[in-house]
Chain A
Amino acid sequence: NAGVMQNPRHLVRRRGQEARLRCSPMKGHSHVYWYRQLPEEGLKFMVYLQKENIIDESGMPKERFSAEFPKEGPSILRIQQVVRGDSAAYFCASSQVQGSGETQYFGPGTRLLVL
């Protein structure tokens, strides 16, 4: 059973460009979470999605950031007009169900560098 897949693993963008980060959850998992890890910090929750629905986006910046999880295909985290402060590692996690104690399984992350 393949784990959570993320691509690309490393992404370099210039200021003002768009970044698209992809996440394929574990087989059988329908809940996807995105987190951001800034240097020397822990992970911060960004958004929680189920297929075709955004359930909780309380951690998403109000501008330039969007996420989707279509019926078919991977979940996408999209950052428009990137700025240097967007440089971070972005991790996707998935779970089979939602419930207290349900383990979230993490992907290897996408490390975004904005020049």
Chain B
Amino acid sequence: GDSVTQMEGPVTLSEEAFLTINCTYTATGYPSLFWYVQYPGEGLQLLLKATKADDKGSNKGFEATYRKETTSFHLEKGSVQVSDSAVYFCALSDLGTGNQFYFGTGTSLTVIP
């Protein structure tokens, strides 16, 4: 079945450091891939998405490229800020499985000044 495997955290970085959070997936069909961010006590907010192979999603300095050959969708940001501290979830949706979302376990990021 469909699943998402996400880099375990927690991750602690200094401000302006480079961020990579790894995400790989398994899917039976042609999934769409998403990154969501969750701030403490809040719901999930869409960060970016990609709907087909080689697409790059980007938002707020974050980007991720849909790599079908490596079944990956790694999240990157060139220079993190304290305000980026949150939990990041990789997710996929696959119409072949009813369009429910499959989430990774989340990666907690803390950025220190």
Contacts and interface: CB of A to CB of B under 8 A. Distances in A.
Contact of B34 (A44, A48, A59, A103): A103
Interface in A89-115: 91, 93, 95, 98-109
Contact of A33 (B6, B32, B46, B100): B100
B53 to A, nearest CB: 13
Contacts of A43: 44, 89, 101, 103
Interface residues of A, number: 30
B15 interface: no
A45 B101 contact: yes
Interface residues of B, number: 28
Interface in A22-43: 33, 35, 40-43
A55 interface: yes
A100 B100 CA distance: 10
Nearest to B99: A98
B104 to A, nearest CB: 5
B45 interface: yes
A55 B98 CA distance: 9
Given A56-B98, A106-B36, A100 B44 contact: no
Interface of A: 4, 6, 33, 35, 40-45, 48, 55-56, 58-59, 91, 93, 95, 98-109
Interface of B: 4, 6, 29-32, 34, 36, 42-46, 49, 51, 89, 93-95, 98-106
Q: Lowest 10 CB-CB distances: which A-B pairs, in order?
A: A101-B51, A42-B103, A101-B32, A100-B95, A106-B43, A45-B100, A106-B44, A108-B43, A42-B105, A43-B103
